[in-house]
Amino acid sequence: MNHELILTETRGRVGLITLNRPKALNALNDQVMDEISAALDAFEADEGIGAIVITGSDRAFAAGADIGAMADYSYMDAYKGDYITRNWERVKTCRKPIIAAVAGFALGGGCELAMTCDIIIAADSARFGQPEVKLGTLPGAGGTQRLPRAVGKAKAMDLCLTARFMDAAEAEKAGLVSRVVPADKLLEEALTAAETIASFSLPVVMMIKESVNRAFESSLGEGLLFERRVFHSSFALNDQKEGMAAFVEKRKPSFRHD
Ligand code: HXC
């Protein structure tokens, strides 16, 4: 696949997307998001891929939407073209798990991109923030919605209204990130986690992702009902038969992803 602003590669059953606009601290313009979207389409269609990692550079995961690109947009430009935000749903609708491996700045749209992924693994250098208020605007791709769900109202209001950054330790304590690792181990750690996920039954992994996400879209009763239905449906899978037989027979399961 030919991309200009991202790099893609396959590592075993893991698809890796690396944002590659170092001079602009990986600022996210529509081209970057188009390319991420196309990469996700390809990884999603590839039976050999079981999980995806999105990462940036040591200095920045992404310092936000591209301020220069959007500075002169009119309301009509932005609304009609769905500029800046048009491809973000693609990250959300990806059915395979996505890990954001975050080092350095994850600000504005960068923080929002990380939060749209399923797991955030942070380097100890990571800094998260929603500083749009300083630019005379507000988060536009989930900052006011996903952040409070992840860290609660108090911290979300604090970050969105004061524009202060949160370091990796605070982000882990607040529940935004699942683990903090030394910066030089970030990619290795994220790839290992992704390889672990990808070694499991792909349809089961997809069912788990769908079910956990359901928790954010429904009442507890509806969510539990959804989970129970999906749980029961897992008994239609060969991989469920294999996984449980392997346990009983005290051997490693060999999943066929069906
Ligand atoms: C375009 C950006 C950028 C951005 C940094 N750069 N962030 N370009 N859009 N969001 C560019 C700078 O212009 C500069 O280019 C180069 O990257 C290095 O940045 P510096 O500022 O020189 O580095 P430093 O002093 O280390 O400061 C780093 C920083 C700062 C704290 C991350 O760059 C910063 O505050 N950036 C903006 C963060 C932000 O406000 N993000 C939210 C954007 S709005 P040159 O050419 O001068 O070297 C948003 C809305 C989302 O995200 C809406 C939905 C998607």
In this predicted model, what pLDDT tens digit does every residue of 129-138 receive, in sequence order?
999 999 999 9
Tens of pLDDT, residue by residue over 43-87, are 999 999 999 999 999 999 999 999 999 999 999 988 888 888 888
Percentage with pLDDT > 70 across the chain: 100
* pTM summary value: 0.97
Percentage with pLDDT > 90 across the chain: 94
Ligand 1: which atom is nearest the Cα of residue 141?
Answer: 54
Ligand 1 centre to CA of 161 (Å) is 18
Q: Is 132 a catalytic residue?
A: yes
Q: Is 112 a catalytic residue?
A: yes
pLDDT exceeds cutoff 80 at 1: no
Give me the chain's average pLDDT, please: 96
**For the chain, what is the largest distance between any 2 Cα atoms, rounded to a whole number of angstroms?**
65
Give the separation between CA 107 and CA 165, rounded to whole angstroms: 8
Active-site hit among 56, 109, 110, 143: 109
* C-alpha torsion 93→165→105→82, nearest 10: 40
pLDDT exceeds cutoff 90 at 15: yes
Per residue in 3-36, is it b (16+ CB within 10 Å) or e — as a string? bebbebeeeebbbbbbbbbeebbbbbbbebbbbb
Q: In a 3-state reduction of DSSP, which class is residue 43?
A: helix
Q: Is 109 a catalytic residue?
A: yes
Active-site hit among 39, 60, 112, 198: 112
- Give the ipTM: 0.98
Nearest CA to ligand 1 atom 14: 24
Is the Cβ atom of 108 under 6 angstroms away from ligand 1?
Answer: yes
Ligand 1 centre to CA of 46 (Å) is 34
Greater model confidence, 219 or 2:
219
Greater model confidence, 124 or 1:
124
Mutation to probe ligand 1, out of 67, 82, 90 (largest number of atoms < 8 A from CB): 67
